[in-house]
Structure 1
């Protein structure tokens, strides 16, 4: 096998040294532009690291990684939380392998500096989810069902089983129900001695089917059939339309930018359509795919327009009213349909109106559920984390619908990378242990998904009849996985199968 020559190692050193200078130049330039807006001192280091990480990810590092591995050096594949420190450590070792003069060598980063980003991430997670003796602990969030307002034993069982944060979805129930939920949660905290933080989700501008008219004999549509989306009222459809069904949507502003060829996704992907014609009264939609037996169109089913810009403010009148209840009662606010930094500014301004300077203490959780929010994630992070404790929820359901299921895993990785680079905690959400929650029996695939969720700082479970069992199972899964892996890094504890195997040869 061919060995690596001294000339190749020197060439690799020069390449890495040039890369380092490029990362410093671009990263420092980005940081200089955002530094003036940073109010939270703890975010300054994180913002700088994020800038360096974005700069290094502008390069295709794969050829370098392949050359570093045979030398026993880091492949730069786990540098999110410590981009420059990791790069410096590699160059410091490579310089010594090359026997560079002492005056040219880069010093190794101190151990404290090397792991500073990891400590910041743990600190930021603790601000939102509460303190844990084990800094690598993965928190568990549970969506409160309506019965949590009246069934105290259920709430107590959830807290005792390992629920670290209770999620109250303001799209459902009302303030009286929320008050009762909160009363039960706080009572359970006192009785169990376990702290449970409160997360309240703003409903946001949900786009749903508002009305359904069935001129024909069925409300079911099949692949290749056409139906009509009326612009305003149900009566606003062409008189010569002979199709089976007419629907309206709750937010007619979608027509401001809707174009022929745009996809329309209904009920989280169960019905996929495309716009074939737009008229003054609305739009014709042709079914591209659905179940073999067709799909029944009903009120309140979700509508998504993945490629259509929506001129809709992320804060509705209901959200503004709910904010007045959330602020004194919640530890964190869930913010739906965040697209860019302007949406974050809008919420921060509303918080400041109500809280003044104390607004900076309120934690904000941005739900990343569109392609725009993924593309704009760095600017969303900078705007939010510069002023507030901040976290990100990967809303995998809507994200899969908006971006396509085939891209979900890729986008999820990108979100995890960028958030770790900014030391921003992540919530892993949507359909976690869904079969277990609903039926009491998990699928094999969702157990693996739950194990992978250990890479996030929090995992969210949705409501269901077996939710307590699911919390117990999830707590066991993530605690076991934490012995094996933290983020992307394997934790190489003693592998008992290795011990047992070697004993056979003693």
Structure 2
């Protein structure tokens, strides 16, 4: 039978006690002492395998993580209730200094039980002040100096415009941006270089620090293409609450060989027409046509610029490639005619509502909206494909599926030969639109996908050379982290920090082991991805 000291503390627990203390306190001291010793043994057993290559800056943090993992093996609810009844810490905020918290509680508990503690002189733990200091040091090493006046950092994802819009980047830095995020799933190295150049220029002019994080694309699990939408252009004027025209629609008529307008958003519609026909236009002229709905419409020429003629319209119109524009000749005898050309198909999408079904396929065929009968009842569900069809075999009935950064969510109802039948359970609005190239997240499915893709490897050299931090998308296993660190070491152009993006339940479950791998890097962090 295991022997105990007078107060119930196990021998060798590091706590010497005189007689005293009630039975409940004795038992509580004994249980806490057992847990403390187990934490020490667990950290000691793991030290060779788990802590062997840890960066020295993280050595004590890694050991603290092992202590925490050992502690969380236990159901602490009963102990926490007993500690709370005694007015002691319930261990609920012990994460950053686990052993120090246990020792502090044990010391206090022994004093309450009238058994003075005797902590071993050679016992070194991460105490409360050291833990706070280390957390601050690790944060600053990864993200830079703490911003003045606040204790949070602001990260901003760069749009494509940031490559050529210095004022945008400068404005973001002036407004408090601490970290520029470049999503390598978009744009290319040329644009990334210009984004970084704009930031460096802004930093030189302002003297403000800002880190650069570049997220690797990872496996691009996205929705596939959809059937093209109709080739139609719509414009409409701005009206007030009473339906009166407050601002006419502004239309640009340009020749087929003319350059694209500098600011497409300056116009409600851009119509491409024959250059010869355009030469017949005169200021004040009225262009008439019958639109796609059979409605008679017109627009009046108001001005000319190097981009083409500008016209105003006071009624909504829909134009297609068959729309015939008519301009009366100045002598009133006859008219000049031309068709609108170059209308691109509209981006298509499928619409879903809560309760609908959606078929997710691995087919190369473009997706399509749901088919409905005369009563608007769905006769065939909407269909959309995914860009990595082989993952469909890894998904099971009951698994949740999220689309477009969580805007649409559902549950796999059935696996068929055609794909996955998904019952929609969440939409961001009553009827949600799902287009092509939107993210798909399967947070609880165990997908057989590498976190580092060949595309990631091809751009990693640029990222390591230019970024302060490498963001790893879909980090799921310790092997994923080891692979990233091995590639960074092979490139040999620096040691950027790394951020693990946790996007699946599997990644969350493996987070402790991944953190121990990440701490082999000089600086690391974790991002819980929203998708």
TM-score (norm 1): 0.68
Partner of 1:150: 164
Contact 1:225 1:286 in 2 (8 A): yes
In structure 2, relative to structure 1, the CA distance for the partners of 1:16 and 1:111 (3 Å cut) is closer
Aligned partner of 2:77 in structure 1 is 62
Task: State the Cα distance separating 1:256 from its structure 2 match.
Answer: 2.8
Change (3 A) 1:354 1:285: same
Checking the alignment, whether the CA contact within 8 Å between 1:218 and 1:244 is kept in structure 2 is no
Structure 1 CA distance for aligned equivalents of residues 435 and 84 of structure 2: 56
Q: For CA contacts below 8 A with separation 6 or more, give which structure has more relative contact order.
A: 1
| Unaligned segments of structure 2, at least 5 residues | 1-19, 230-347, 369-377
Pair 1:308–1:133, CA change in 2 (3 A): closer
Aligned equivalent of 1:46, options 56, 61, 66: 61
Which of residues 185, 191, 201 in structure 1 aligns to 2:199?
Answer: 185
Distance 1:236 1:69 in 2: 58
**Residue 34 of structure 1 pairs with residue 165 of structure 2:** no
Specify the alignment match of 1:332 in structure 2.
469
- Closer/same/farther in 2, CA of residues 79 and 243 from structure 1, 3 Å limit: same
Distance (whole Å) between structure 2 residues aligned to residue 281 and residue 10 of structure 1? 64
Deviations 1:131-190 (A, max 9, x none): 349899432222222332233233223223322211111122222221121111111112
- Quickly say closer, same or farther: Cα 1:47–1:313, change in 2 above 3 A: same
Residues 262-273 of structure 1: pairs in structure 2 closer than 5 A: 262-273=399-410
**CA 59–151 in structure 1, closer or farther in 2 if over 3 Å, else same:** same
Answer 1 or 2: which has greater helix percent: 1
**The residue matched to 1:187 in structure 2 has which SS?**
helix
* CA drift at 1:371: 0.6
**2:380 counterpart SS class:** coil
* Distance (Å, rounded) in 2 between the aligned partners of 1:235 and 1:157: 41
Does the alignment pair 1:96 with 2:111? yes
1:14 is the counterpart of 2:30: yes
Deviations 1:458-481 (A, max 9, x none): xxxxxxxxxxxxxxxxxxxxxxxx
Structure 2 Cα separation of the partners of residues 258 and 170 of structure 1: 27
The structure-2 alpha-carbon separation of the partners of 1:262 and 1:160, relative to structure 1 and needing over 3 Å to count, comes to closer
Aligned to 1:496: none
Q: 2:39 aligns to what?
A: 23
Cα displacement (A) at 1:70: 5.0
State the Cα distance separating 1:391 from its structure 2 match: 0.8
The alpha-carbon distance between structure 1 residues 340 and 363, as it changes in their structure 2 partners (threshold 3 A), is same
- Is 2:366–2:385's contact at 8 Å kept on the other side of the alignment? no
Larger Rg computed on CA atoms: 2
CA RMSD of aligned residues (A): 3.4
- Out of 174, 184, 197, the residue aligned to residue 160 of structure 1 is 174
CA contact (8 A) 2:404 2:434 kept: no
| Displacement of 1:84 | 0.8
Q: How many residues are matched?
A: 386
Match in the other structure for 1:232: 363
2:450 corresponds to which residue? 313
Q: Distance in 2 between the 1:128 and 1:167 partners?
A: 14
Counterpart of 2:392 in 1: which secondary structure?
A: helix
- 1:96–1:105 contact (8 Å) kept in structure 2: no
Deviates more, 1:52-61 or 1:150-159: 150-159
The answer to whether residue 393 in structure 2 is matched with residue 256 in structure 1 is yes
1:34-60 CA-to-partner distances (Å, cap 9, x unmatched) read 123x24122221111111111112223
SS in 1 for 2:475: coil
- TM-score, length of structure 2 as denominator length: 0.65
How do 1:58-207 and structure 2 match up within 5 A? 58-100=73-115, 104=118, 113-132=127-146, 137-207=151-221
Answer yes or no: is the 8 Å Cα contact 2:444–2:504 preserved in 1.
no
Distance 2:27 2:400 in 1: 50
Please list the CA deviations of residues 259-289 of structure 1 after superposition, one character each: whole Å capped at 9, or x if unmatched: 4444433334444444444444434444445
| Contact 1:253/1:312 (<8 A) preserved | no
For residues 75-125 of structure 1, give each alpha carbon's deviation from its aligned partner in whole angstroms, at most 9, with x where no partner exists: 3222211111121122122223333257x5667989984422222222211
Question: Cα offset for 1:218?
Answer: 9.5
From the superposition, tell whether residues 220 and 348 of structure 1 become closer, same or farther in structure 2 (CA, over 3 Å): same
2:3 aligns to what? none
State the alpha-carbon separation in 1 of the partners of residues 87 and 356 from structure 2. Answer: 60
Do the aligned residues in 1 keep the contact of 2:396 with 2:412 (CA within 8 Å)?
yes
SS in 2 for 1:181: helix
Question: Distance in 1 between the 2:445 and 2:36 partners?
Answer: 40
Q: Distance in 1 between matches of 2:228 and 2:148?
A: 58
